[in-house]
């Protein structure tokens, strides 16, 4: 039984959190009518090299930009070990048994979904909300196309009336920012104004993060 509006779930390394992350969360929040978006920093990445930036510093940057409807959720860090989205969704489903869960993804992450652990089971626990410009032509892998072809919906109401199992595309302008690009600019002592929120830039400067 559904007992509230959908909850957004946005995971990542957030190394550092940047304006693109906030844009992604905002677009999903507004398009779907989410009650909140939970930012979930990973503990140990499954597909990337571990960061040299400490967990405490990454979380401090996230806390600096968290304000309703954005919420910091340390579920993966507290669980420990390698972070897998499927494990987090199972845990969130146990915590919020009557709330639809919406995993928020950019198109670049979405097309890589088949490389994720137990990716075929994701829709058993959540909806997928994919934010990307409609005119951006990026081939969806065949194995992913087979899974989503019968569950793509055009109206966000479906995400409110079902606990999981639907895919919803949000047509929104892209913000071409990546954490790796931010880190590279900082390492090369180039300005990053407009790429990260002011509060994040202040922490980076005060602690001398990513300077090499």
- Token pair of 89, please? 């969704």
State the pLDDT at residue 134: 64
For the chain, list the domains and their CATH numbers.
7-207 (3.40.50.620)
- Residue 42 CA to residue 74 CA, distance in Å, equals 8
State the pLDDT at residue 1: 85
- Residue 146 CA to residue 53 CA, distance in Å, equals 38
State the pLDDT at residue 135: 63
State the pLDDT at residue 45: 86
- Residue 41 CA to residue 122 CA, distance in Å, equals 18
- Token pair of 75, please? 């579920």
- Token pair of 142, please? 């065949």
* Dihedral angle of Cα 135, 136, 138, 140, to the nearest 10 degrees: -50
- Whole-model pTM: value is 0.95
Find residue 40's DSSP bridge partners: 11
- Token pair of 150, please? 């019968």
State the pLDDT at residue 211: 87
State the pLDDT at residue 173: 82
Please give, one letter per residue, the 3-state secondary structure of the chain: CCCCCCEEEEEECCCCCCHHHHHHHHHHHHHHCCCEEEEEECCECCCCCCCCCCHHHHHHHHHHHCCCCEEECCHHHHHCCECCHHHHHHHHHHHCCCCCEEEEEEHHHHCCHHHCCCHHHHHHCCEEEEECCCCCCCCCCHHHHHHHCCCEECCCHHHHHCCCCCEEEECCCCCCCCHHHHHHHHHCCCCCECCECHHHHHHHHHHCCCCC
Regions of the chain short of the pLDDT cut 70: 48-50, 134-138
State the pLDDT at residue 96: 98
The residue behind tokens 């899974």 is 147
């Amino acid at each position: 039984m559904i007992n509230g509006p959908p909850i957004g779930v946005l995971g990542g390394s957030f190394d550092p959190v940047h304006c693109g992350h906030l844009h992604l969360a905002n677009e999903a929040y507004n398009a779907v009518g989410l009650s909140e978006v939970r930012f979930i920093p990973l503990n140990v990445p499954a597909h990337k090299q571990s960061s040299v930036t400490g967990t405490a510093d990454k979380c401090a940057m996230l806390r600096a930009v968290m304000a309703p409807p954005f919420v910091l959720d340390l579920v993966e860090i507290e669980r420990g070990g390698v972070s897998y989205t499927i494990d987090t969704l199972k845990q969130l489903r146990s915590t919020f048994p009557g709330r639809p869960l919406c995993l928020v993804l950019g198109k670049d992450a979405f097309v890589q979904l088949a490389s994720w652990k137990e990716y075929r089971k994701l829709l058993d626990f959540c909806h997928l909300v994919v934010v990307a410009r409609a005119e951006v032509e990026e081939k969806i892998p065949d194995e992913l196309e087979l899974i989503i072809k019968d569950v793509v919906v055009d109206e966000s109401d479906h995400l409110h009336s079902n606990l999981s199992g639907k895919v919803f595309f949000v047509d929104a302008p892209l913000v071409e920012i990546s954490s790796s690009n931010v880190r590279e600019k900082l390492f090369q002592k180039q300005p990053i104004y407009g790429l990260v929120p002011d509060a994040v830039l202040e922490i980076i400067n005060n602690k001398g993060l990513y300077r090499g």
